[in-house]
Structure 1
Amino acid sequence: MHPAVRYRVSMPRPHSHLLEVEASFPGGPETVDAVLPVWTPGSYMVREFARQVQDVTAHAPDGSPLPVRRTDKRTWRVEAQGLAVTLRYRVYANELTVRTNHLDGSHAYFNGAATFLYTEATRTLEHHVAVDAPKGWRAFCALGQREDAFIARDYDELVDSPFEVGPHTPLTFSVEGVPHEVVVWGDTVQEPERLCAELQRICECQARVFGGLPMPRYLILLYLTDRGRGGLEHKASTALLFPRAGLSTGRGWEDLLTLVAHEYFHLWFIKRVKPRALVPFDYAQENYTTLLWAFEGATAYYDNLFVRRAGLMSAQRYLTRLGETLTLLRATPGRRVQTLSEASLVSWVKHYRPDENSPNSAISYYLKGEIVSALLDLEIRRATRDARSLDDVVRVLWERHGDGSGVPEEGVEAAASEVAGVDLTPFFDRALRTTEDLDYSVFAHVGLEVGSRMRESISDKGGTPPRGRTGEGRPKGWLGVTTRANGTISVVQEGSPAQDAGLYVEDELVALEGWRVDGNGLLGRCEDRRPGETVRLTVFRRDRLLDIPVVLGTKPAEAAWLARVENPTDAQKAAYQAWLGAPWEDAPGQA
């Protein structure tokens, strides 16, 4: 029998939220340092998983205790004396996210990085996991099985293979002969056949880009909750958190499809083709790369595009969603402060740890990266007269680095220039390494241009032209804050009238000119006034009542949408159809 690391995970008392874990390591060294990662691949923040580990004991093969002591936040040192070592410990599991662990009376979900202690000396050995499930429950994982255990070829594969345990009956479909399972927790999907059929179409579109699938089976773990949305990609599976109420609306259903499309694209683009800075993973500390703008941003660009290519989103709707993304970027003052390259590098302390100043000081590499990827796709199409596209760039990267060797920091830019047949350095310099506004003129290649207008309501996300309401052209008063539902200020925009007047985050808005108002009502009433007018705001600040005069500014034209250019050429119409697979007649109207 080949040496292997063996785990057994039990959950005898689900209501305690405690996973019982046994980890056995082969003999050899006098001292064994068992450690837990501080982060998990795909989620670039130090999360200190060891804080949930308790009751660690160590034992020799005959069951006798071995001395064990904690030497730092993530390490347990065992005086092994050359013997095989078995560690027994508990993991508190009561945090339902795609990155952490959750155990209760309905199911168990656990991630490798948050659960399995490992040693650097045995990291490359096979890792076996047996699951003792409560009666009526079954374990689901993308790993292959041998006898009563799931088998990972090494610790990295184990970390990349989350487990779901519960009384579930999976939904199934197949893509190019590869079986896919969907395991749902939290509610039932009302149209399971439709969901499987539409996911199948999206997955098939992606497989065609890369010439097939890179795994023997795929598992989708879908957690339907009261709030929250997100996903975490893995080498043969994904875990998704999604609001259950969203599945009852057309927009919510569409959003679920784009979420799955995003994580599925990661099968190739980050799980196999990855930044060289992540090879191998260092689980003890941050792993820095400037390439997250590409691996997450391009994936964000493709998630909507593949839903469109699968025929599940109209071209008009696709352009509306892209316009919403343009609007969100315009509404983020941090785009003038942080470059896209830096946003990738410091995701560890910025993207996953937002605060009230984040909109003023940072930009999301998902958000801006999506737009830069769209512009890059169009730049390549323009340079090659639509003979090539961003698809060719990701294929080149797949062919050269799909073995996991890693893409060098300059590799994405080099591949894009190679495919385009021109030096794209000026494009990348501006898009990645400056805080200049992006150049949207390349949309003209597909007969489109970007229009601008003021937002028409608090819920206006942009993406569509103005509705032509009476008074739309009149300048509107602008305060420059974002409020919570309870009326407290959550963000004060840099350079806004609110900041100049001395309004602070956490101020509780009470009244405007002596009349009670909530957050949404305040913003609407400010817009009814003209720029330059002074209004008196009453707020509670740390329980003290204050009157603060504010000189209103002019509401900015943040909302963006994509519209046809005037008098498009036949070449522009053909390029539009090549890009979105829809006839020019379906393009949105002129600005």
Structure 2
Amino acid sequence: MARRILRVAFVLLWAPALALGQAPVSYRLSFPEPEHRSMQIRIRFDDLPPGPLELRMSRSSPGRYAVHDFAKNVYDVRFADGRGAALRAIHPRPHEWNVIGHTGSVEVTYRIFGDRVDGTYLAIDGTHAHINAPAALMWARGLEARPVAVRFLPPAGASWRVATQLVPGADPLAYTAPNFQYLMDSPVELSGAALRTFTVRDGPRTPVFRLAVHHTGTDAELDTFTADVERIVGEARQVFGEYPPFEGNSYTFIADYLPWAVGDGMEHRNSSVLTSASSIRSNRLGLLDTVSHEFFHAWNVERIRPRALEPFDFEEANVSGELWFAEGFTSYYGPLILRRAGLTQTADFAAEMTDMVNTVRTSPGRQVRSAEEMSRLAPLVDGAAYVDRANFDNTYVSYYTWGAAIALGLDLTLRDRSNGRVTLDHYMRALWETHGKPGGKAPGYVDNPYTMADLEAALAAVSGDAAFADDFFARYIQGRELVDYERLLARAGFVVQPVSPGQARAGQPIAGPRIAIVPVEQAGREPTADERRFRERWLSSTSRNGS
């Protein structure tokens, strides 16, 4: 693994040809009044078929499962034909505009407000434009397969550069996307962000990894942070045996670590968005934990994808019963990869396990719904906003946390059953080979997404025991039981200790006592040789232990 620290603009080598016979949809994004948190957008549609042009503003965004109604920030909308004559649009619902009377060409202009720096929304100010495409860009029904051209016009005098997974065009401010799905999954940061780049050898490929970091820290802090990210990127690869075939052979981390940012992370096909009000200096490990989680998504959910989310529906809530796996297993691997990369200690990972297991075992919500059922509640809890009071404290457990606890239990169970020969890494790799690696018909698509039955079948194949797989899914995923963490963790030299037995939270029943998971060293003895070996194979770098 070789690292090169660069302070130059990004260069991509991937530039697919525009689809033959289809006029591209052209976007121009400009910023005449960034001090007012606004952006102006012009869209040109040509070679249109007869009939109304059905324009839409997205209501959902990939990786966030609630409905957001991004149209609320759109204003000053105008429509014209190819010669500039005004056209009329019917506006039946807040996110719909049906343009009538055109003769094959339509130009749309509008302004949009944005003032939230996170992974879902839009933020414009004098220092940058932070753009989540569904929150900013109108699109047309029926034109999803057309190629897209995008041009950025920064404010006068601004030295903004572009960080994105979009395909570079003829100049540094011109980009393309092969289709609508890829456009919507491509966040953009325009700013004077600091840039770092490193490469990693991956068989015949050498993908380029890029960090664009808009922050208040120093170059030295970012250099050290980049080295840490490189270790995460290398260790995550060991789980699957290879990197995904990134379009353009590159992956971009887009980070805004600014006092006015909202803590968030959002996965995309060849990039991720990382935002926080904290800094590298004050919260290095917290920021790296988000990096680890989002990068693991490059395999799990971006390419190993639930059928319920493929293709993504931008007008409605996207409901999946598999988020305990897509998000929860990723939440398990995030801190595990940090530990394997040597960025945290065993006690740190034990604390992570303690939190996830305690949350699930003490929540009354576990008596109400299974992990599968919790997953299907995502549109009601993942960024959703309500004015009335809900009872989720007593009826809901996050599928992130419950899924992570399931992943921990399954990893330990597989290792225990096979004496370390079969692990969760083998399970993830099997799913990658079947559902992720084959790819899709076009960039941004997955041709073989999975179902719940596929997940169970893969476990049966990896474990060599269909009855075991059926029992595990029935009890711990579609049921409400918990694995025997105390017995399983003991094999790795961890002790499960009760904490404040009988203590309850105000107004909430306790489904089980709170516990602490600690290494046996903290309990007063050294691990045995077998315990040390089991732990080493689990928590040490997979490049050394061969998992």
Structure 1 position 301, deviation (Å): 0.6
**Which digits, 9 at most, give the CA deviation of each residue in 1:248-292, with x for residues without a partner?**
34xx32221111010001011101110011121121112221100
Look up the match of 1:336: 367
Q: Choose from 191, 194, 216 the match for 1:169.
A: 194
Distance 1:169 1:352, change over 3 A: closer
* In structure 1, C-alpha distance between the alignment counterparts of 2:234 and 2:528, rounded to whole Å: 33
TM-score, scaled relative to structure 2: 0.84
Look up the match of 2:308: 277
User: Does residue 1:381 correspond to 2:337, yes or no?
Assistant: no
Alignment of 1:111-150 (within 5 A): 111-134=132-155, 135=157, 136-148=159-171, 149-150=174-175
Structure 1 position 569, deviation (Å): 6.3
**Which digits, 9 at most, give the CA deviation of each residue in 1:491-520, with x for residues without a partner?**
x42489xxxxxxxxxxxxxxxxxxxxxxxx
Look up the match of 2:539: 580
Q: Which has the larger radius of gyration?
A: 1
Structure 1 position 563, deviation (Å): 4.0
* In structure 2, C-alpha distance between the alignment counterparts of 1:382 and 1:438, rounded to whole Å: 12
* In structure 2, C-alpha distance between the alignment counterparts of 1:204 and 1:25, rounded to whole Å: 43
Question: Which of the two has greater helix per residue?
Answer: 2
Question: Which of the two has greater strand per residue?
Answer: 1
**Which digits, 9 at most, give the CA deviation of each residue in 1:439-461, with x for residues without a partner?**
3233234343422112xxxxxxx
RMSD: 2.4
* In structure 2, C-alpha distance between the alignment counterparts of 1:575 and 1:169, rounded to whole Å: 42
* In structure 1, C-alpha distance between the alignment counterparts of 2:382 and 2:87, rounded to whole Å: 42
Counting aligned pairs with the same residue, the percent is 28
Question: How many residues matched?
Answer: 489
**Which digits, 9 at most, give the CA deviation of each residue in 1:375-409, with x for residues without a partner?**
11111222222112111111111111112121112
Contact 1:231–1:259 (Cα < 8 Å) also in 2? yes
Structure 1 position 160, deviation (Å): 0.8
TM-score, scaled relative to structure 1: 0.78
Q: Choose from 187, 193, 199 the match for 2:216.
A: 187
* In structure 2, C-alpha distance between the alignment counterparts of 1:200 and 1:79, rounded to whole Å: 52
| SS at structure 1 position matched to 2:136 | coil
Contact 1:390–1:416 (Cα < 8 Å) also in 2? no
Contact 2:66–2:381 (Cα < 8 Å) also in 1? no
User: Does residue 1:157 correspond to 2:182, yes or no?
Assistant: yes
Look up the match of 1:291: 322
* In structure 2, C-alpha distance between the alignment counterparts of 1:112 and 1:70, rounded to whole Å: 22
Look up the match of 2:498: 452
* In structure 2, C-alpha distance between the alignment counterparts of 1:18 and 1:173, rounded to whole Å: 34
Look up the match of 2:443: none
* In structure 2, C-alpha distance between the alignment counterparts of 1:451 and 1:495, rounded to whole Å: 17
Contact 1:324–1:561 (Cα < 8 Å) also in 2? no
Q: Which runs of 5+ in 2 are unaligned?
A: 1-20, 440-445, 542-547
**Which digits, 9 at most, give the CA deviation of each residue in 1:471-491, with x for residues without a partner?**
xxxx89x6733xxxxxxxxxx
Alignment of 1:306-385 (within 5 A): 306-353=337-384, 357-385=391-419
Distance 1:353 1:38, change over 3 A: closer
Look up the match of 2:459: 416
* In structure 2, C-alpha distance between the alignment counterparts of 1:340 and 1:44, rounded to whole Å: 16
Identify which range, 7-16 or 62-71, moves more after superposition.
62-71
Contact 2:194–2:214 (Cα < 8 Å) also in 1? no
Contact 1:174–1:180 (Cα < 8 Å) also in 2? yes
Structure 1 position 437, deviation (Å): 4.1
Look up the match of 2:9: none
* In structure 2, C-alpha distance between the alignment counterparts of 1:204 and 1:567, rounded to whole Å: 31
| SS at structure 2 position matched to 1:114 | helix
Q: Choose from 540, 560, 570 the match for 2:516.
A: 560
Identify which range, 362-371 or 252-261, moves more after superposition.
252-261
* In structure 2, C-alpha distance between the alignment counterparts of 1:239 and 1:278, rounded to whole Å: 20
* In structure 2, C-alpha distance between the alignment counterparts of 1:374 and 1:85, rounded to whole Å: 53
Look up the match of 1:493: 508
Look up the match of 1:8: 28
* In structure 1, C-alpha distance between the alignment counterparts of 2:426 and 2:320, rounded to whole Å: 23
Q: Choose from 252, 275, 298 the match for 1:241.
A: 275
Distance 1:180 1:563, change over 3 A: closer
Contact 1:30–1:82 (Cα < 8 Å) also in 2? no
Identify which range, 42-51 or 141-150, moves more after superposition.
141-150
* In structure 2, C-alpha distance between the alignment counterparts of 1:447 and 1:563, rounded to whole Å: 6
Distance 1:351 1:234, change over 3 A: closer
* In structure 2, C-alpha distance between the alignment counterparts of 1:380 and 1:414, rounded to whole Å: 15
* In structure 2, C-alpha distance between the alignment counterparts of 1:391 and 1:452, rounded to whole Å: 30
* In structure 2, C-alpha distance between the alignment counterparts of 1:386 and 1:577, rounded to whole Å: 11
For CA contacts below 8 A with separation 6 or more, give which structure has more relative contact order: 2
